Amino acid sequence: DGGITQSPKYLFRKEGQNVTLSCEQNLNHDAMYWYRQDPGQGLRLIYYSQIVNDFQKGDIAEGYSVSREKKESFPLTVTSAQKNPTAFYLCASRPIAGGQETQYFGPGTRLLVL
């Protein structure tokens, strides 16, 4: 898990509620990513950011929002528009310098709907 922390480990969401998942890294990595993992589905990209104050949608961005105000932080908000939010959410980061491609993952947050 290196220097990537995700909190909380478990999160419960009530109907119609927005919830925010935290991702912090102290690796001085430029790029950060959010993935959603469902059983048997692999990892699917929600959003990613390669620089502060800039981010791009991934394959399944609907119902989610992000911000990148600081290099070390990339919080993900699961909005009420996301009708099936139950999943395991993984944050990752990657250094850009030197053309490095390796992504390093955090320990994940499991989101459950009450």
Partner 1 sequence: GENVEQHPSTLSVQEGDSAVIKCTYSDSASNYFPWYKQELGKGPQLIIDIRSNVGEKKDQRIAVTLNKTAKHFSLHITETQPEDSAVYFCAASIGAGTALIFGKGTTLSVSS
Q: Which of 53, 69, 101, 114 binds partner 1 (CB under 8 A)?
A: 101
Q: Which two tokens stand for residue 2?
A: 């290196």
Taking the least distance from each CB to partner 1, the nearer of 44 and 71 is 44
Taking the least distance from each CB to partner 1, the nearer of 1 and 62 is 1
Q: How far apart are CA 53 and CA 84, in angstroms?
A: 28
Tell me how far, at minimum, the Cβ of 16 lies from partner 1, in Å: 28
Burial class from Cβ neighbours inside 10 Å (0-12, 13-18, 19+) for residue 88 reads: middle
Beta carbons of 77 and 64 less than 8 angstroms apart? yes
Q: How far apart are CA 107 and CA 114, in angstroms?
A: 23
Per rule CB under 8 A, is residue 1 in the interface with partner 1?
yes
The footprint of partner 1 (CB under 8 A) covers 1, 4, 6, 31, 33, 35, 40-45, 48, 50, 58, 90, 92, 94, 96, 99, 101-108, 110
